Amino acid sequence: MPARDIYHDVVRNALMKDGWTITHDPLRLEWGGKDMYVDLGAENLLAVEKDAQKLAVEIKSFVGASDMADLEKALGQYVLYHDVLAELEPERVLYLAVPQTVVQNIFEEPLGRLLLRNKRLQIIGFEPIKQEVVQWIR
């Protein structure tokens, strides 16, 4: 299994505070004999609909030497996991969880807005110190 991101427990706690139940830690995917591990799987039972929402969450800290290198790596993993999940668990929605500062520094800038406008990914912005979800970007 791959090493956990430095914010793994922070995001886990933030999702639980937000009403999600962690169902997988990590969420194992297997395709064509290859194993992949999305950081978290989560579920939230909606009382009104009596239907569960399911998430897969890949966590990225963006603490590398280059934001662009971190973004390229995160997008590559996201696309890979997204396509495999679409085949194996189409009801599960994939999110990339990043610190709120990354949302501001990357996804509120022109390049990030382009990715979001083109529906390349969905984001969970979290506050590391408070261990809270700040925003969901769909």
pLDDT digits (tens, 9 = 90+) for 35-78: 999 999 999 875 544 467 899 999 999 999 999 999 999 999 99
Let me know if residue 126 belongs to a domain.
Answer: yes
Domain hosting 130: range is 8-42+64-137
Let me know if residue 57 belongs to a domain.
Answer: no
CA dihedral angle for residue 19, residue 24, residue 25, residue 28, rounded to 10 degrees = -150
Let me know if residue 47 belongs to a domain.
Answer: no
**Domain total of the chain:** 1
Let me know if residue 14 belongs to a domain.
Answer: yes
Cα–Cα distance, 35 to 18 (Å, whole number)? 29
Burial 10-27 (b: 16+ CB within 10 A, else e): bbbbbbeeeebebebebb
Q: Position of tokens 């925003």?
A: 135
Let me know if residue 30 belongs to a domain.
Answer: yes
Let me know if residue 128 belongs to a domain.
Answer: yes
Let me know if residue 115 belongs to a domain.
Answer: yes
Residue 70 identity (one-letter amino acid) = D
Let me know if residue 37 belongs to a domain.
Answer: yes
Peptide bond into 110 cis (omega under 30): no
- pTM comes to 0.94
CATH number at residue 74: 3.40.1350.10
Predicted local confidence at residue 49, as pLDDT: 47
pLDDT digits (tens, 9 = 90+) for 98-112: 999 999 999 999 999
